[in-house]
Amino acid sequence: MIRVLVASKIHEKGIEILRSSGIEVSRVEEPPEDELIKAIKGVHGLIVRSKPIVTKRVINAADSLLVIGRAGVGVDNIDVEAAKTRGIEVLTSPEATTQSVAELTIGLILAVARKIAFCDRRIRAGEWPKKYAMGVELSGKVLGIIGAGRIGSAVARIAKFGFNMEIVYYSRSRHIEFEEEFGAKYLPLEELLRRADVVSIHVPLTEETMHLINEEKLRLMKKNAILINTSRGAIVDTNALVKALREGWIAGAGLDVFEQEPLPSNHPLLQLDNVVLTSHIGASTEEAQERAGVDIAKKIVEFFRAKGYIK
């Protein structure tokens, strides 16, 4: 009997797909490392979301593990090299959350540009902040997209055809289809930062992208520019961003991800009115979570079927 441990909450349709394929499913929600090490014994497949962290210790403790499935995009919570060394395959379901993350990105842009969260806070505090809430339109503005993959493309589509924004982008290589679909122009990163009214980050966290947006890069941006990050927190140097927001190097930021999560209660970002914060909810829609659970369950089933372990 093939056993799969589901160590994060996934949609029940995904669980049903596993069980209907003859797989025995055990469940534990986001266990700490020591608990996961115990639970991984005798397990052939493991499914996680952004938590728990699948460390080298966890992988080395596994005595039967053949595959790890990440219900969503990004594998920075999985020691992929340790898995590779043990011959364990790592699967993801990146397509499942694309639209949800893209829509949140646009929501953050609007929230910063039109001071929506600022007004909400002030009104709840008994104020009427109309004279402090002058915003800007998105129409005709330049959106700089860092990373022209699935999510970057979905954001560009909404911005271009919904708000008439001009699209420029930076990535490791040019994407001709992206350029043709959105009339987008490829720019070196430094030039994109100088030109864009809104900069939106859509790249994975790697050694190369760690603190990609640092003090030097932030100083290149326009004083009326907005920075949006719905990718991974450590792509932006938080200390440099706090300084930029305090001193007015840029107008504002919208952040769904942080270098430290949850954000500490005394974090300086919480004291700033020109930043909008959400709690890593890019993929937190009913539709995205159903797709992610179903997609990763199907991929796990296909993996074991291809190996001949199930029919």
Write out the catalytic residue numbers. 232, 261, 280
- CB atoms inside a 10 Å sphere around CB 306: 9
Cross-strand pairs, 166 = 142
Q: Are strands 24-27 and 45-48 parallel, antiparallel or unpaired?
A: unpaired
Sign of torsion over alpha carbons 283, 288, 290, 292: negative
Residue 228 and residue 201 in contact, taking contact as beta carbons nearer than 8 Å? yes
Query: What does each C-alpha distance from 236 to 15, 85, 218 come to in angstroms?
Result: 36, 30, 10
CA nearest neighbour of 212 among 233, 194, 182, 195: 233
Are the C-beta atoms of residues 121 and 134 closer than 8 Å to each other?
no
- Rounded to a whole number of angstroms, the CA Rg of the chain reads 21
Strand, coil or helix: what is 26? strand
Label the pairing between strands 252-255 and 142-146.
Answer: unpaired
| Residue type, position 278, single letter | T
Find, among 115, 154, 169, 159, the residue nearest to 139 by Cα. 159
Inter-residue contact 7 to 288 (CB < 8 Å)? no
Rounded CA separation 7/16 (Å): 16
Residue-wise DSSP of 44-61:
SEEEESS-S-B-HHHHHH
